[in-house]
């Protein structure tokens, strides 16, 4: 009897473990590994808006790369999340950043994102087609190599405030800085 009970327990234990793992995987087949955020300075560009970008490093740390493209310069910084939020909250460029929206991503290709940052910084600024918004979108798409952000509109010929408020489908609600 004890041997039969032991065999049933072992068999049940083997059957339960894979089932539990399958249930967890089915609940979240594309578990997030990365995170991106867009920051909004609503009074920038004659109140049409200005946006900046941020992405979390892929090494599991709390370090973020973040920055912006403006008509006359670009900038980029690296810091923990709380410092990043403090930096955006205290920057006075473009009338000041007031809020941000974030999204978890299935992939976190920091190298591809950095390449997109460098490529954007190397190109001349173009108000309609190569600006703060279009470059932010390019960086986000490069970072999420899974393709999960490929459906984002490219941001060309769109006011940054409108994009931030209406085109970030599936992103978290805006948070005040």
Write the CA distances from 83 to 13, 18, 115, 145, 150, integer angstroms. Answer: 47, 42, 23, 26, 29
* 20 and 49 together in one domain: no
Q: Are 157 and 70 found together in one domain?
A: yes
Q: Is the pLDDT of residue 9 over 60?
A: no
Instruction: Give the pLDDT confidence score for residue 11 in this predicted structure.
Output: 37
Q: How many helices (H) and strands (E) does the chain have?
A: 6, 6
- Into how many domains does the chain fold? 2
Mean pLDDT of 2-31: 38
Is 1 a residue whose pLDDT tops 50?
Answer: no
pLDDT in tens, 117-161: 999 999 999 999 999 999 999 999 999 999 999 999 999 999 999
> Do residue 78 and residue 161 come from a single domain?
yes
The answer on 105 and 140 residing in a single domain is yes
Q: Are residues 1 and 51 in the same domain?
A: no
Model confidence band, residue 60 (pLDDT cutoffs 50, 70, 90)? confident
Q: How many CA atoms lie within 13 A of 94 on its CB side?
A: 27
Q: Answer yes or no: do 128 and 68 share one domain.
A: yes
Q: Which residues contact 51 (CB under 8 A, 6 or more apart)?
A: 38, 39, 40, 41, 68, 132, 133, 136, 160, 163, 164
How confident is the prediction for the chain on average, in pLDDT? 86
Q: Which domain holds residue 15?
A: 1-29
Residues 11 and 62 in one domain: no
Residues 48 and 95 in one domain: yes
Q: Give the distance between the most distant pair of CA atoms in the chain.
A: 82
> What pTM was estimated for this model as a whole?
0.82
Do 62 and 144 fall within a single domain?
yes
Per-residue pLDDT at 132 = 98
Asked if 89 and 168 sit in the same domain, the reply is yes
Stretch 103-118: mean pLDDT = 97
- Mean pLDDT, residues 15-33 taken together: 42
Indicate whether 30 pLDDT > 80.
no
> Rounded to an integer, what distance in angstroms lies between the CA atom of residue 135 and that of residue 36?
13
**Do 85 and 167 share a domain, yes or no?**
yes
Asked whether residue 23 falls in the same domain as residue 86, the answer is no
Q: Round to whole Å and give the CA distance between 91 and 158.
A: 24
């Amino acid at each position: 009897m004890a041997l039969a009970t032991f065999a049933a327990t072992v068999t049940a234990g083997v059957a339960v473990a894979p089932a539990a793992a399958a249930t967890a995987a089915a609940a979240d087949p594309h578990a997030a590994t990365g995170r991106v955020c867009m920051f909004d300075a609503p009074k920038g560009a004659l109140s049409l808006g200005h946006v900046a970008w941020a992405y979390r490093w892929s090494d599991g740390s709390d370090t973020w790369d973040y920055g912006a493209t403006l008509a006359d310069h670009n900038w980029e910084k690296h810091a923990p999340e709380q410092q990043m939020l403090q930096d955006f909250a205290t920057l006075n460029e473009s009338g000041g950043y007031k809020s941000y929206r974030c999204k978890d991503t299935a992939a976190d290709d920091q190298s591809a994102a950095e390449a997109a940052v460098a490529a954007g910084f190397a190109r001349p600024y173009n108000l309609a087609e190569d600006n703060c918004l279009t470059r932010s979108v390019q960086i986000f798409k490069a970072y999420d190599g899974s393709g999960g952000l490929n459906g984002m509109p490219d941001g060309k010929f769109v006011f940054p405030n409108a994009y931030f408020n209406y085109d970030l489908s599936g992103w978290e609600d805006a948070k005040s800085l």
